[in-house]
Amino acid sequence: QVQLVESGGGLVQAGGSLTLSCTASGGTFSTDAMGWFRQAPGKEREIVAAITWRGSSTRIANSVLGRFTISKENAEDTAYLQMTNLKPEDTAVYYCAVGVFSSPPQIRAWGQGTQVTVSS
């Protein structure tokens, strides 16, 4: 059974930085991608960033392009989302996911979610 464990998140002032991490276990993932969605109150869940399992390709949402970076430590099956120059509109619950980040996405497993709050 695939499990994703997230860490990171918290409260930060606008312009600050946070890093989220997500570690996968319990499955084989060579054909998957790993990444994050986020959901703000009253809004739909949206893709933030994704990276192929071997880290050869990434996808970053236009809303965070140039501010967020996704990377992956293959030996540990762990991905990282480095978030810089955070804005109040980045406030949301961030969910790690493994699967195919297509439209619509085909997600095999979700993390528990972690709150990111950016104060102005």
pLDDT higher at 73 or 12: 12
Over residues 39-81, the pLDDT tens digits come to 999 999 999 999 998 888 999 999 999 999 999 998 889 999 9
The mean pLDDT value of the chain amounts to 94
Residue 102 confidence (pLDDT): 87
Residue 11 confidence (pLDDT): 98
Model confidence at 89: pLDDT above 80: yes
Residues contacting residue 4 through CB under 8 Å, at least 6 positions apart: 22, 23, 24, 96, 97, 98, 109, 110, 111, 112
